[in-house]
Structure formats: structure tokens, C-alpha cells
Amino acid sequence: MNDVRPGLKVGVAAAAVLTLAAGSTVALAAASGAFRSRQAAPNGQCSAPALAGTVVDVALANMGGRMMTGGSTGGMMRVRASRQQVPAGTVSLRVANVGSLVHELIVLPLAPGQQVGQRAIGTDGRVDEAGSVGEASKTCGAGAGDGIDPGAIGWVTLDLAPGTYELLCNLPGHYAAGMYTELQVG
């Protein structure tokens, strides 16, 4: 006897396929509607306007426990981008905070030979932002702010020259916990 309802079988199968096909934080965030925020807007939702140039969806995530002293976490933190390479010129970053902590996205060029995750971390748990070409750190808005709230989005449009950039969260302890990724601009 099979006591599982046919509709349930289809739903479970579809969820399994979606999970396998997605394979990444960004794909799962997009599938769940994370790039449409439900916070900080009078109508209960905010979304990025039509963005110029090449659009890259970025998911900021923390898994596990709360921040603890010393900059470590009870879990891992990540920055995931939908694309690792984009053409030079106008690039828009649409950033979804899919974690439970406030996050931000800073865009810093990498010097030749420099690798992501190798920046010196100061005593305040942050890296030097000198040379930043932009940031998305405003809940339901463009550009700089006080951080993107959990479940919310932010965005920034930049004119990027060819080179390698590091996308990172620079809130205290977040970079050390793994919140960075590389973006190649060519």
C-alpha cells in the first residue's frame, strides 16, 4: 500500500530537482525570491529597479550560530555571485542578504598576484577599504548605508575597468569568517 499522496510525490520530486539544479546559494536565493525583499518598504516589499549594464546577483550568507568574540562564528559565512566573469564597463550588483545577520558588500580591486581572502585584518576585525570602487550596504536602496538587513536587498551600479576585484563583507569579523569572492572583469 502506498499512502503518500500523488501531489506530495510531485512536490518532493520538484523540490529535489530544484535543489540539485540550483547547486549554489545564489540559485537557491533567486528561487526563493531573495532578490525581492520584504523589509523596509511601505508596501511590505522592495525590489531593485531595472539595473544598468551587466547584472550580477550576489548572496550574502551566514550559516550557524551568532557572532562570538574574537571575530569567529558558530558557522561559516559566504559571498556567492551568480557570475565570476563580466565584461568591463557598467556592472550592477544586486545583493540579497540571505543570512540572519546584517551584511554589506564592498568592491575592492585586487593587485596583480593578490588572492581573495589574503587582505590584512585590523584589530577592529575589518580590512582597509582604501581604493574601494563602491559598495552596496543600504537596505532596500542603492549604494552606501548602514548595512543590508537580513532578508533584504541592496544594489550598486559601477563602471568597472578590466581587472580582478574582491567582493567582500567588511563588518567586524565577517571577512575573517570567509565573506569574500572574486569577480573577473575583462
Residue 79 near residue 106, CB atoms below 8 Å: no
Residue 136 near residue 91, CB atoms below 8 Å: no
- The pLDDT assigned to 63 comes to 82
Which tens digits make up the pLDDT trace of 113-124? 999 999 999 999
* Percentage with pLDDT > 90 across the chain: 67
Q: What is the pairing mode between strands 77-81 and 54-62?
A: antiparallel
3-state secondary structure 127-180: ECCCCCCEEECECCCECCCCEECCCCEEEEEEEECCEEEEEECCCCCCCCCCCE
Cell of residue 30, nine digits = 533567486
DSSP 111: P
Calpha distance 26→5 (Å, rounded): 31
Contacts of 35 (CB under 8 A, 6+ apart): 29, 47, 48, 57, 94, 96, 153
- List the domains of the chain with CATH numbers: 6-185 (2.60.40.420)
- The pLDDT assigned to 56 comes to 98
